Structure 1
């Protein structure tokens, strides 16, 4: 398994090359890595071929147009739609109207809100701990 960094400008050409080499698009995941001082998102493209797994990693600020690999991989439609609807990344050619939601809902629910502190908690699990029935 390997992860390769790529620029968004090279993404579509790289997707076509991988398709030609027999790689299947398995999933696309996005993470908002923004801080109060910097807006930054990471998009990971997960590919598989036989017993191999490969990932392409692209960084974006999430505000500029972002290329679609739909022309190379048809199954990218729903995955890229989710990037647009859940993180607000403006993917070229994706309208972002597939998610059912109420009118007053947050427009990009997985996008970090600036000025909000996010608390992280460490959870410790003891070895051989018993789980109490609920």
Structure 2
């Protein structure tokens, strides 16, 4: 149901390309990862998106929570730090929201580069619903 809602709500869906098998080796995370079936959600979404003519982008998640989504500097945090507070530009927001903005930006850039390389119009990259 979640994958159907995602595909129905957006033309481009961006996920972190997480090493789920590696994360399952961490005993503190393993139960939560299996309970939420992250890999299955991505697979289901990719299948439904392909049938609907939509796109699923997988992006490298490294540093997405450390990088300021407004000015781009690295703001080191521990996992316990739940708020992103940039000393350069003053941006203050939830750490996960900051990371999600960075992930979306990476997904849109990757799509734009592929479209440009294939001589496709790049203007559709910023379509609503992302």
Name the TM-score class by shorter chain: under 0.3
More strand by percentage: 1
Q: TM-score, normalised by structure 1?
A: 0.21
More helix by percentage: 2
Structure with larger Rg: 1
Q: TM-score, normalised by structure 2?
A: 0.21
